[in-house]
Structure formats: structure tokens, C-alpha cells
Amino acid sequence: MRFSDGFLDEIRQRLPISQVVGEHVIWDKRKSQPGRGDFWACCPFHGEKSPSFHADDRRGIYHCFGCGVSGDHFRFLTEKAGMSFPEAVEKLAGMAGLPMPARDEREEQRQEARRTLYDVMEIATQYFEAALSHNIGARARGYLHDRGVSAAAQTRFRIGYAPDSANGLKEHLAANGVSAQEMVDAGLVVVREDSPLPYDRFRNRVMFPISDFRGKVIAFGGRALSPDVPAKYLNSPETELFKKRLNLYNGQTAREAARAGKAVIVVEGYLDVIAAVMAGFEGTVAPMGTALTEDHLQLLWRMSEQPILCFDGDSAG
């Protein structure tokens, strides 16, 4: 049986990881700070005399600084208790007071469609990357150079270019077996009521892929190269993969940086993030052109006790 990401996330949110791990360890009272969700114990995966195993309720993860094991609620039970993944889900759902979901064939079909959309987004990302390195991407490369975005940064953030064409991406996707409906579902083409033919959403724009916390591309932000377009920045619409309020640009890298003890810094835009990361501030994120919401704050506080807001000094900031 497949479980939806939403159901698994609700278990993580309802159930402190210290409660799960606490059935297998004795917390060190001197080193632990329960009020901060900060727990230490001798590692249950290898023998040791001083506590180097850490569980963090805010982030919902554990990590041993001695042997290097790490994971979440489900991984702990599969690796320590030897449970299968469905068995771990059933046990944790019971601990969290959640009924196990009945099999939902429609939901399973949606999950399968989402996996397909990830593939579609990856094809699009590679198309934009190739266009940036091609002759048609010269102006986009010039813009990035003027903004101080090095070739190394372009590669790291997988920056690309959407050619000034209504059909370039659409035809490329079709040639790779992507259906018209999948293009629409991924937010890559636009369908207008007064036109029977869909056309590329992003044209003549520098493209910034947006990844989820698993590192998979789920959306794009496009910066216009022409001064006479209505929107200087254009984001993907909300899709089955992309919910603005539940994602942060550079979120995956920032979460890993926070786990290593680095600061989490919130800035306004893609280029701000890139500049900060390339200057050594790996924990920098941005809310992608939308207001900083309560959901964003929940994400930030799960990464860090004290995220730093570093917005522009104008009225919007």
C-alpha cells in the first residue's frame, strides 16, 4: 500500500521524534533540554559510553555524531526495530492517534501522476540548461554575468534560459513522450479560451528551477530579459507538485546547512539567495515572490530556532 506524502507528514508533525526514539534509549538528563525539543542519549545503533546521539523534535530528525546514522520517525523503526515500512507507518499512526487510510485508488493514481510530473519537470530543466549554453542563450548569459552570477553558480543552481518561442519547450516535451495534459498539469504551457493551441508559459526568460525539500524540481521562476513585458518575474502556477506556501527556494540545501549548525537566512529573491550561498551562507532561502506566510515560518522554525530575516529596506521588504 502506498501512503500519501500528506499522511506521512501529518504523522511527523503530530508525533515528537523523541517519543519514538525514547522507547529505545534513556535520555541524558544533564545534556538534554526537553523544553527546546533537544534530546541526547547513548546511541542505540552502536556501543558508546557518552551520549553522542541527538534527537531534535523541531526538525523531526535524529543523528549520531559518533557513527553517523540519521533519519526520521519511519527510518528509525525500520532500521532499529526491523519493521517493514508499512509496519512502521501503522505503529506510528497509532501513536499519533491517526486512523490508517483506506486504500484509495484515486489517490494512488494521483501519486503516480506526480511521479510522472517530476520526470516532466526534469526534462524541462535540462532543456532550459541546454538553451542557456547554446548561442540563443548569449543574452541570458550576459545578464547573469552582469548580475555577478558565475558559471559555477549557474551550474550549481541549474539556471537555464527559456527561448523566445511559443512552441520550443512544448515541441521538445512532445518529442520526449510528454502528453499535452501533462504539460498543462506541470504548469509549463498555457491554454487560453480563445485559442485551441497551448503555448509555452516561459519565453525569453532566465530560468531558476525551484526544488522541493527532496531536491526534485517542482516549478520555475523566470526573469524577463525584455523590459516591456507585464511581469519582470513569472513563477509557475500552483500545481500538484508546487504549493508556494509549502516551499522555499534553496530549501533542501538550507535544511542540510541548518543541521550542520549554520544560520538560516531569509531573503527576497532568487539572485539574493544565489549571491549569499556563493558567499558561503549555505542556509539562505527565499519565499519566491510571495509574502512570508505562517506556513513559511513553520518551515523555518523546523530548520532553526532563530531564522534571520534579511529583506530589502523598501515598503515591500
State how far the alpha carbon of 279 is from the alpha carbons of 144, 148, 221, in Å. 16, 12, 22
Q: What is the pLDDT of residue 316?
A: 53
Same domain (yes/no): 130, 181: yes
Same domain (yes/no): 222, 280: no
Position 48 confidence tier, pLDDT thresholds 50, 70, 90: confident
Same domain (yes/no): 138, 234: yes
Q: What is the pLDDT of residue 301?
A: 86
Q: What is the mean pLDDT of residues 69-73?
A: 94
Same domain (yes/no): 238, 259: no
Q: What is the pLDDT of residue 307?
A: 93
258 in any annotated domain: yes
Position 103 confidence tier, pLDDT thresholds 50, 70, 90: low
Residue that wins the pLDDT comparison between 294 and 130: 130
Q: What is the pLDDT of residue 264?
A: 95
Same domain (yes/no): 142, 256: no
Same domain (yes/no): 219, 131: yes
Q: What is the mean pLDDT of residues 124-130?
A: 97
Length of the chain: 317
pTM over cut 0.85? no
d(CA 285, CA 262): 13
107 in any annotated domain: no
DSSP 253-264: HHHHHHHTTPPP
Same domain (yes/no): 174, 127: yes
The CATH number of the domain where 295 resides is what? 3.40.1360.10
Taking only the tens place, the pLDDT of each residue in 202-213 is 999 999 999 998
Final residue in a domain of this structure, among 242, 272, 295: 242
Highest-confidence segment of 58-62, 152-156, 304-308: 152-156
d(CA 51, CA 62): 13
The CATH number of the domain where 208 resides is what? 3.90.980.10
Q: What is the pLDDT of residue 258?
A: 87
Contact 18, 57 (CB under 8 A): yes
19 in any annotated domain: yes
- Per the structure, the count of domains in the chain is 3
Domain span at 192: 114-242
Residue that wins the pLDDT comparison between 261 and 75: 75
CA nearest to 12, candidates 53, 62, 52: 62
Q: What is the pLDDT of residue 313?
A: 65
Position 168 confidence tier, pLDDT thresholds 50, 70, 90: very high
Does the pLDDT of residue 95 top 80, yes or no? Answer: yes
Same domain (yes/no): 53, 140: no
The three grid cell numbers given for residue 162, joined into one nine-digit string: 527559456
123 in any annotated domain: yes
315 in any annotated domain: no
Position 110 confidence tier, pLDDT thresholds 50, 70, 90: low
Same domain (yes/no): 77, 148: no
Taking only the tens place, the pLDDT of each residue in 7-27 is 898 899 899 999 999 999 999
Same domain (yes/no): 233, 303: no
Final residue in a domain of this structure, among 46, 70, 96: 96
Q: What is the pLDDT of residue 108?
A: 60
Spatial strand order of the sheet with 308-309 comes to 284-285, 265-266, 308-309
Same domain (yes/no): 74, 168: no
185 in any annotated domain: yes
Name the average pLDDT for the chain: 90
Residues pairing with 206 in the sheet: 161, 223
104 in any annotated domain: no
Number of helical (H) and strand (E) elements in the chain, helices listed first: 12, 13
238 in any annotated domain: yes
Same domain (yes/no): 255, 237: no
Position 256 confidence tier, pLDDT thresholds 50, 70, 90: confident
Final residue in a domain of this structure, among 190, 216, 242: 242
Position 315 confidence tier, pLDDT thresholds 50, 70, 90: low
Q: What is the pLDDT of residue 4?
A: 78
